[in-house]
Structure formats: structure tokens, C-alpha cells
Amino acid sequence: MSEPISLTAALASFDALWSPRIVTSVNDYDVRIAKVQGEHVWHTHDHTDEFFLVLDGELRIALREGAGHERVVTLGRGDVFTVPRGVEHRPESATGAAILMFEPSGTLTVGDRHDDVPDHVDATTGHRLGGRS
């Protein structure tokens, strides 16, 4: 039987940026939390949408929506946004944010196609709580 999970406690249990923790699973989806600051990497998920919920701070998501059209979506605490599958995007936060994401289990944080992955971005399918800090 599962037990309640405190997202506040879960976020306090690690410091690594852009390195999501899996807090639970729903069917074939992971519920992940992450601390973010600075820029992620431009990437695309070819086979799945990506859902974001901002728990704290501000998250900006730059989107390349075809034909050279780019836009930026700004999310504050409590805001949600879904990046449709196949849309190239780059999350970023100038001041830092805590986010929650729903993604199919095994989804790589840098997508199926991506730019070079900088050292500060953890290319992972998520870490279980209590794992890598």
C-alpha cells in the first residue's frame, strides 16, 4: 500500500539542478520533481507530450513551433503547461524554480533529439528519491 509523499520534504532531500527525482508512478507514467536554474538544452520528445507544473519560482519554456516561429511561455507558481510531442523546446529559469513533470516511465530528460548536453544537465530517465544528490 502506498503512503502520502510530501513534495516539500522530497524537494528538500536533494540539491542537484536539472536532475529529476521520481516521487511516484501513475500507470506507466513517472511523476518527477526537479529543481532548475539556468538553461536546459533544446530538445524534442518525438513520442510523448511533456507536462510541467511549477511548484515554486518561475519557469520559462522556449518553443520552436515550425517555420522559424519561436515563442516563450512563462509559468509562475501553480501554472501548468504541456509541450506537445514533436515540439522542440528549452526550459529555463533565471531565478530558480521547483517543478513537477508527468512523463512516460523511461523518458529521457533530454528527449529523443537534442543539442549537446552541458555538464549541468543530467541526461537521465529520473532518479528514485534518496538516489543521486
Domains in the chain: ranges and CATH: 8-118 (2.60.120.10)
Average pLDDT over residues 16-38: 95
Spatial separation of the C-alpha atoms in residues 1 and 117, rounded to whole Å: 38
Query: What residue has cell string 523518458?
Result: 107
Average pLDDT over residues 120-131: 77
Spatial separation of the C-alpha atoms in residues 53 and 119, rounded to whole Å: 25
Average pLDDT, the chain: 90
Q: Kindly indicate the confidence band of residue 125, based on its pLDDT and cuts at 50, 70 and 90.
A: confident
Res 63: pLDDT:
97
Per-residue pLDDT tens digits for 37-89: 999 999 999 999 999 999 999 999 999 987 889 999 999 999 999 999 999 99
Spatial separation of the C-alpha atoms in residues 10 and 120, rounded to whole Å: 21
Q: Kindly indicate the confidence band of residue 126, based on its pLDDT and cuts at 50, 70 and 90.
A: confident
Spatial separation of the C-alpha atoms in residues 97 and 87, rounded to whole Å: 22
Q: Kindly indicate the confidence band of residue 133, based on its pLDDT and cuts at 50, 70 and 90.
A: very low
The set of residues, in sequence order, having a beta carbon less than 8 Å from that of 38 and lying 6+ positions away, is 17, 18, 92, 93, 94, 120
